[in-house]
Amino acid sequence: MDKGIFINNEWADHGLEKIEVRNPATGEIVGTVPKGGKKETKSAIDAAHDAFPSWSALNAYDRAAYLEKLYDLMVKHEDELAELMTSEMGKPLKESKGEVQYAASFVKWYAEEGKRVYGRTIPPSKDNKRMQVIKQPVGVVGAITPWNFPAAMITRKMAPALAAGCTFVVKPPKETPLTAVRLVELCEEAGFPKGVVNLVSGKSSEIGDELLTNPKVRKITFTGSTEIGKTLMEKASGQVKNLSLELGGHAPIVVLDDADIPYAAKQTVASKFRNGGQTCICGNRVYVQEKVYDEFIKHVVAETEKLKVGNGFEDGTDIGPMINKDAYEKVGKHVENAVNQGAKCVTGGKGHEAENGTYFYEPTVIIDVQPSMLIMNEETFGPVAPIQKVKTDEEAIKYANMTPFGLASYVFSENYSRGMKVVEALDYGIVGWNDGLPSAAQAPFGGMKQSGLGREGGLEGLEAYLETKYISIGMK
């Protein structure tokens, strides 16, 4: 039996058609999962709905104990989870290990934070009244996750949802469902009661539609593209469904002329090329002040040329394959468009498409980029760093804010006053100031504008799974 559908603590493939999962570095089939649809999703929702009263009635310490067990199992199986992730997603093994640790950190942190869901009392304005506010879990949660972080995008939702007392149905992406299956197996081993965690692999629009239209689901949490996020938002309006959206980004990196340039270059390369540039908070476009433009480019090129492209299982690989043909073609299109309009490619700039259906793209730096070029306006999701020269701080801020996205942004400056003014002016949910890697379980992660609604991680990430109930008590 192929695993991919887990309902009421039972695996079943229901004799369904299969989805083949391929290693994007070799083209080999590394596993299959059943192609579930409406029927399986409905059963999973029913199971989660039935489990909700008893799970939400457990005290926070007992719920935390299950999450602690899951955390221990994730740590114990770190290497195995990382290898599975590299085999289906392609990221270098060292990055997969980093992701497993990051994914586990949400489980650990929310096991603790679930014990701190506080209400409050409000001073009444009448002698014969008492006023209280309590927090309660929203109910059954439907989660839809992307392929670029196959484990962390699940635990960033599942851990706070379970800690809050919600039950959970997750739909993993077709490219990376195997990591999701293994995570859910670990939930099974941790002993979560029946129906608390459910998994349905399969047809995205059918599963999505059932999650969005079934009244038993009280909250939808989605991470993925802005395009699909908008579709879900429209459909969620039918039942005014509680919605959290973590969508696309187009992160600017601003390098002021008082920055520590070698350090800024290293951090830019770390931010830009992590996961082969296939990260929603990857720096996507760089604005550098003219006084330090040449020096910054020299350092960025030197750092970029150290990166090795290859199979994520090979020692020393820094950049794995592109996830698929569409992703690869988009990167090529962005580079071509920039070069055709006068930008210069100073390192990289070539792709490699093999007969076995695998796609690699060299880490690339393009300079003398102009604001109208495609790459400065669309999320590239690949290993290309376009650099534009700017004069003033104000000009850098204007260009940085020119997109409809508002997820992550970065500024490099050694001057507190200048740096802080830029930080405050950036229309982004996350700002890394002299920091190219800002994500952490205890911090709120999410975007402004078309990058989404709500936050994951930190206190805000738990709040997303809680309802606020105000109680007004009359005294006789």
What CA–CA distances, in Å, run from 210 to 45, 53, 142, 213, 469? 9, 22, 10, 5, 28
Between 153 and 335, CB nearer to ligand NAP: 153
What mask of x and - would describe binding to ligand NAP in positions 154 to 173, judged by CB under 6 A? -----------------x-x
Our answer to whether residue 246 is catalytic in this structure is yes
Q: Residue 448 burial (CB < 10 Å; 0-12/13-18/19+)?
A: middle
452 lies in the site for ligand NAP, by CB under 6 A:
yes
Rounded distance, CA 281 to CA 269, Å?
Answer: 13
Q: Is 324 in the site for ligand NAP (CB under 6 A)?
A: no
The DSSP letter of residue 193 is: P
The stretch near ligand NAP (CB under 6 A) out of 23-31, 54-62, 146-154, 332-340 is 146-154
Q: Cβ of residue 147: shortest distance to ligand NAP, in angstroms?
A: 5
| Inter-residue long-range contacts of 230-234, CB under 8 Å, 24+ positions, other chains counted | 232/144, 232/208
Window 375-404: contact mask with ligand NAP (x via CB under 6 A) = ----x-------------------------
Query: Which entry of 113, 246, 303, 456 is annotated as an active-site residue?
Result: 246
- DSSP, residue by residue, 214-238: -TTEEEEEEES-HHHHHHHHHHHGG
For ligand NAP, which is the closer residue by CB, 179 or 223?
223
In 3D, which of 178, 196, 176 has the Cα closest to residue 187?
196
Angle at Cα 433 formed by Cα 250 and Cα 287, nearest 5°? Answer: 50
Question: Is residue 174 within the footprint of ligand NAP (CB under 6 A)?
Answer: yes
The closest of 261, 343, 271 to 297, measured between CA atoms, is 261
429 binds ligand NAP (CB under 6 A): no
Min dist. Cβ of residue 232 to ligand NAP (A): 6
Site track 278-317 with ligand NAP (rule: CB under 6 A), x = hit = --x-------------------------------------
Q: Which is nearer to ligand NAP, 51 or 161 (CB)?
A: 161
- Among the listed residues 66, 307, 46, the one whose alpha carbon sits nearest the alpha carbon of residue 189: 66
Give the residue with the Cβ less far from ligand NAP, 64 or 247: 247
Q: Which stretch binds ligand NAP (CB under 6 A): 56-64, 100-108, 144-152, 253-261?
A: 144-152
179 near ligand NAP, rule: CB under 6 A: no
Q: How far is CA 209 from the centre of its chain?
A: 22
Q: How many residues bind ligand NAP (CB under 6 A)?
A: 27
- Select 345 or 408, whichever has its Cβ closest to ligand NAP: 408
Q: How far from the centroid of its chain's Cα atoms is residue 156's Cα?
A: 8
Using the contact rule CB under 6 A, the part of the chain among 24-32, 141-149, 345-353, 436-444 near ligand NAP is 141-149
Check binding of 407 to ligand NAP (CB under 6 A). yes
Q: How far is the CB of 25 from ligand NAP (least distance, A)?
A: 18
Stretch that binds ligand NAP, among 139-147, 188-196, 363-371, 434-442 (CB under 6 A): 139-147
d(C-alpha 415, C-alpha 38), whole Å = 56
Burial class (CB in 10 A: 0-12, 13-18, 19+), 16: buried
> Which parts of 189-228 interact with ligand NAP (CB under 6 A)?
204-205, 208, 223-225, 228
Please provide the DSSP assignment of 100-168 as one string: HHHHHHHHHHHHHHGGG---EEE--SSTTEEEEEEEEE--EEEEE--SSSTTHHHHHHHHHHHHHT-EE
Among 84, 140, 181, 247, binds ligand NAP (CB under 6 A): 247
Q: Specify the stretch interacting with ligand NAP by CB under 6 A; choose among 101-109, 247-255, 303-311, 394-402.
A: 247-255
Residue among 246, 303, 362, 393 that touches ligand NAP (CB under 6 A): 246
Read off φ and ψ for residue 400, nearest 5 degrees: -60, -35
- CA pair distance 141, 55, nearest whole angstrom: 13
Q: State in angstroms the smallest separation of the CB of 461 from ligand NAP.
A: 11
Does 10 qualify as catalytic in the annotation?
Answer: no
Residue 140: closest CA among 234, 241, 235: 241
Q: Give the footprint of ligand NAP on this chain (CB under 6 A).
A: 144-149, 153, 171, 173-174, 204-205, 208, 223-225, 228, 231, 246-249, 280, 379, 407, 447, 452
Q: Which residues are catalytic?
A: 246, 280
